[in-house]
Amino acid sequence: MHSQPAHAHSAQQPSTPAPTTAWTAERIRALGTVTTVPTAAAIFGLSRSVAYDLIKAGTFPLPVLRFGRRYRIPVAAILTALHMPTEPDPPTT
């Protein structure tokens, strides 16, 4: 009688991605006025390299600010692209 090692079944099951925290409007606004390309890429579900490729091709879907060799993405543009409010909701009384 042949028995399979205990790990044989787990190797055949598809892996699931690790859970991530959702990018809410509050989390995005908390980034400040501008953010980095890797952060903007993560918000849109892009890899860092794809985001830089799009920037270099001039096809990144958001305004890109260049400071020397560094790129920054305006947070307000991210919120607008995602149809999220750029200002927090006023507190209710």
Check residue 10 and give its pLDDT: 45
- Hey, which bits of the chain come out as E strands? 34-35, 65-67, 70-74
- Residue-wise pLDDT for 19-53, tens only, equals 567 899 999 999 999 999 999 999 999 999 999 99
Check residue 88 and give its pLDDT: 80
- Residue-wise pLDDT for 48-82, tens only, equals 999 999 999 999 999 999 999 999 999 999 999 99
Q: Cβ distance 43 to 23 under 8 Å?
A: yes
Residues 6+ positions from 23 with CB-CB distance below 8 Å: 42, 43
2 pLDDT tier (thresholds 50, 70, 90): low
Amino acid, res. 46: L
How far is the C-alpha of 81 from the C-alpha of 3, rounded, in Å? 55
Classify 31 in phi/psi space as left (phi over 0), alpha (psi -120 to 50) or beta: alpha
